[in-house]
Amino acid sequence: MTQTLFDKLWQQHLVRDLGDGEHLMYVDRVFLHERTGSIALSSLAESGRSVRAPARTFCTMDHIVDTFPGRGDHTLMPSGRDFIEATRRCAHAADITLFDIGDARQGIVHVVAADQGIALPGLLQVCPDSHTCTLGGLGALAWGIGSTEAEHAMATSTLRVLKPKTMRVNFHGDLPAGVGAKDLILHLIARYGAGGGSGYAIEFAGSAVQALPVEARMTLCNMAVEFSAFTGLVAPDENTIEYVRGRPYAPKAEHWDAACAHWRALVTDADAIFDRELDIDCSEIQPTVTWGTSPEQAVAIDGSVPQLDEESDTRKRGAMEKALAYMGLTPGTRLTDIAIDAAFIGSCTNSRLSDLRAAARFLEGRQVAPGVKAVCVPGSTQVKAAAEAEGIDQIFLAAGFEWREAGCSMCFYAGGETFGAGKRVISSTNRNFEGRQGPGTRTHLASPLTVAASACAGYIRAAGEQP
């Protein structure tokens, strides 16, 4: 019987069919972070249970710790130090691998998982973080879970899961200049709605996806959860194999050939049938930016904030009115007429070396506009070191950006840092709901290239539209 890539991965990890669509699945990797890790680890210990596979369980410091140079255990979050210290104590007691503050491998959980080769094609990985689907860009079966599920996965190496339906999203054609993976996913969500992927595991395919570098595929999969999908996947190929090669937790020489043979078989069969398929012509896509408080409230860079009477759905029109009030915008306003107060490059969506390189290529020889606060936070200490070895940090600093330590930072407010109430930020992050970057902060999602261009213009701009 022909199978989709998702069905193959699911079948390979199926322990038992529990009936009514629920399956018991084998978990290869569990990754924690300090915001929820100490809760799961301490609860597990209090129950008298231990981590079943410590060598396959990992933890990093990323969500709460601040990203200022020389940070130590400092955090702006009230009681944040308690989370950090508790996670450190629990991780050591459980004998799991901890990427602590000061460790050269520390960083955002999903970035570190790829950096270190912990996430690999074909593996099932879970983490108490909704953007775990990022790792589908490597061909891993990965999704976010809660702290209680993390406790169960650590104790048993299994999880009880309701199997989702399958969807394939085909991006056809060549990408126009200045258009990248972030623009693809924002275009998809704007076209089909933030709930368009609900109940589905999505495989991203088509010639445009095949042409994407592996890190861009991770950006695409990262925001599958913003489409309400269970997870996102891209089939591994030779680019994936080369990306994984030599990473610390990748298969060693004696196992490498067998691993590659397995990974090359992880493709959707030619005649496999999906529950739903979507087809998108990439020639229609421009750099895309959100105007509202949902990723679906996005338009092309040359577009305008939509008119309310363009929306016939009463519920959506109400959401638009609420978003306009929060964002301080008027229908009909052109995106390029919107001035910004701040620019942020970072997050598990767009903080990898390729993202920083793209922004740096634009920033070289340019300056951030007067009055704009611009911040760049590399996704991991390894990414930061690699960028500094290439001189990328000096380009950012010369342009007027702050250059930070690795972490989640101002992707969201849990770390306690914000741009401020009423401030308008263009951001390479993944969520723009009310208060995401702090109480009253107004967030416009965009690609790192668009963020860099906007920072220099002082207005929302694409890289090819500088004054």
Percent over 70 (pLDDT), the chain: 99
What local confidence, expressed as pLDDT, does residue 73 receive?
A: 85
Q: What is the pLDDT of residue 307?
A: 96
Of 3.20.19.10, 3.40.50.2000, 3.30.499.10, 1.10.630.10, which CATH number belongs to 289-457? 3.30.499.10
pLDDT tens profile 427-455:
999 999 999 999 999 999 999 999 999 99
What's at 65, amino acid-wise? V
How far apart (Å, rounded) are the C-alpha atoms in residues 212 and 215?
8
Handedness of CA 27, 29, 35, 40 (dihedral sign): positive
Q: Can 1-286 and 289-457 be said to share one CATH topology?
A: yes
Name the phi and psi angles at 49, rounded to 5.
-105, 160
Question: Number of helices (H) and strands (E), helices first, in the chain?
Answer: 15, 19
Pick the CATH number of 1-286 from 2.40.240.20, 3.40.50.2300, 3.30.499.10, 2.60.120.700: 3.30.499.10
Residue 424: predicted pLDDT: 98
Which pLDDT score is estimated for 414?
A: 78
Angle at 446 between CA 338 and CA 281, to 5 degrees: 110
Q: How far apart are CA 181 and CA 212, in angstroms?
A: 8
pLDDT tens figures, 239-254: 999 999 999 999 999 9
d(Cα 79, Cα 64) in Å, to the nearest integer? 10
pLDDT for 114? 98
Q: pTM of this prediction?
A: 0.97
pLDDT, one tens digit per residue, over 312-321 is: 999 999 999 9
What is the band of 378 on the pLDDT scale with cuts at 50, 70, 90? very high
Q: Is 314 left (phi over 0), alpha (psi -120 to 50) or beta?
A: alpha
pLDDT tens digits for 65-79?
Answer: 999 999 988 888 888
pLDDT in tens, 266-313: 999 999 999 999 999 999 999 999 999 999 999 999 999 999 998 999
- Mean predicted confidence (pLDDT) in 368-389: 98
pLDDT at 467 over 60: no
Q: Where are the domains of the chain?
A: 1-286, 289-457
C-alpha gyration radius of the chain: 21
Is 80 exceeded by the pLDDT of residue 43?
A: yes
